[in-house]
Every structure is written in structure tokens, then in C-alpha cells.
Structure 1
Amino acid sequence: MKITVRYFASIREAIGAGQEPVQTTAATLGALRDELIARGGAHATSLARGRAVRMALNQTLSEESALLADGAEVAFFPPVTGG
């Protein structure tokens, strides 16, 4: 399936792109994250397991178990604090 992956804040800076189309066989957000980590380089460093990374599916904060569908928009971003 084809999805759009968007990157924000420090993840965007590390990867060097705000978004990209991705062809994937991943069924869940967690599986997609693992596919992107397997690319190596900035993807592996920015999305690595053990790093705090939030995910959204179609603009809704989601857990790694959320199911992907063709045409979905996925966003990865670091936790945000503010006051």
C-alpha cells in the first residue's frame, strides 16, 4: 500500500525532509516504524527503539498497534513540552 509519512521537529531535521511517499507492506504503525529503521542512516537514528517518538495516524495520536490502510497519513514527532 502507498502512504504518506510526515516528519516533524528534530526528526525532520535529521532526515532532511518533511514528508515522503512510502510503499509499505506494514500492517501497523509499529511495523512501519521498523521498516523505516531498517533503512539505516538518519531513519534508524531518529526513529530508533528506545527513543521517545510519538506517532499519529490520519492526524490522531495513535499507538504502535494502530492498523494502516492505503492512502493513510502517518506522522512521526518527538514528545512536545510546553507551558
Structure 2
Amino acid sequence: MSSATCTVVTVRFFGSLREAAGRGDVNLEVDDASISGVRARLAGLLCADGLRALSGQGVRVCVNQTIVRGDVGLRTGDEVAFLPPVTGG
């Protein structure tokens, strides 16, 4: 991919998602500058267990430290974080 036509974002994984992904963070070039574009790129990088964990119920996505819902647009330099479900009491 050419960085001239791609958006470069940092993706971070926290808690149990970090373990499932096998890494804490990764810099990604994405053609589709959106959360779905990030997920599509991750499909080529993560194992099946990691992908399942990211799609699990209760997983939250943050862009630049703000929880987002749905498929939001991204810009170069954005941070996308995947947060595991909150548990406990």
C-alpha cells in the first residue's frame, strides 16, 4: 500500500484483547479510513482467536480516547483502541 493514498492509524489492544491479539499495538495503513477498514486489515494480521475476541459482545472501540459507536471515519495519526468488556462488581 502506498502511504500517499492510505490512512495510517495506531491500533491498541487492552486487557484480554491484548493477549488474544498477541500484541499490544500495531500501526496500520488502511485504504478504507474507517473502523470497518481497520477491522478488515486486522483480519489479515491476527489469528482466528484474536479476531473472534475483537468481535465479542461488549468490546468497545475508542478513537482518540473517545468511545465511538458504529463505523466512524479516521484520519492519519488517529489512535484506535479496542477495550474488553467491563466485568466485576
**TM-score tier (shorter):** 0.7 to 0.9
Q: 1:64 aligns with which of 43, 64, 70?
A: 70
Q: Does 1:12 align with 2:18?
A: yes
Note the residue ranges of structure 1 that are not aligned, 5 or more in a row.
Answer: none
1:55 aligns to what SS in structure 2? strand
Q: Does 1:73 align with 2:74?
A: no
Note the residue ranges of structure 2 that are not aligned, 5 or more in a row.
Answer: 1-6
Q: 1:43 aligns with which of 50, 60, 78?
A: 50
Note the C-alpha offset of 1:2: 0.9
Q: Is the radius of gyration larger for structure 1 or structure 2?
A: 2
Q: Over aligned residues, Cα RMSD in angstroms? A: 1.8
CA deviations 1:2-40 (Å, max 9, x no partner) are: 110000111101112111111111222133223313445
Q: Distance in 2 between matches of 1:46 and 1:82?
A: 19
TM-score (norm: length of structure 1): 0.80
Q: Match of 2:3? A: none
Aligned pairs, number: 81
TM-score (norm: length of structure 2): 0.75
Q: Indicate how the Cα distance of structure 1 residues 19 and 39 shifts in structure 2: closer, same or farther if over 3 A, else same.
A: closer
One-letter code of the match for 1:45? R
Identity between Structure 1 and Structure 2 (%): 38
Runs of 4+ in 1 over 6 A off after TM superposition: none
Note the C-alpha offset of 1:82: 4.0
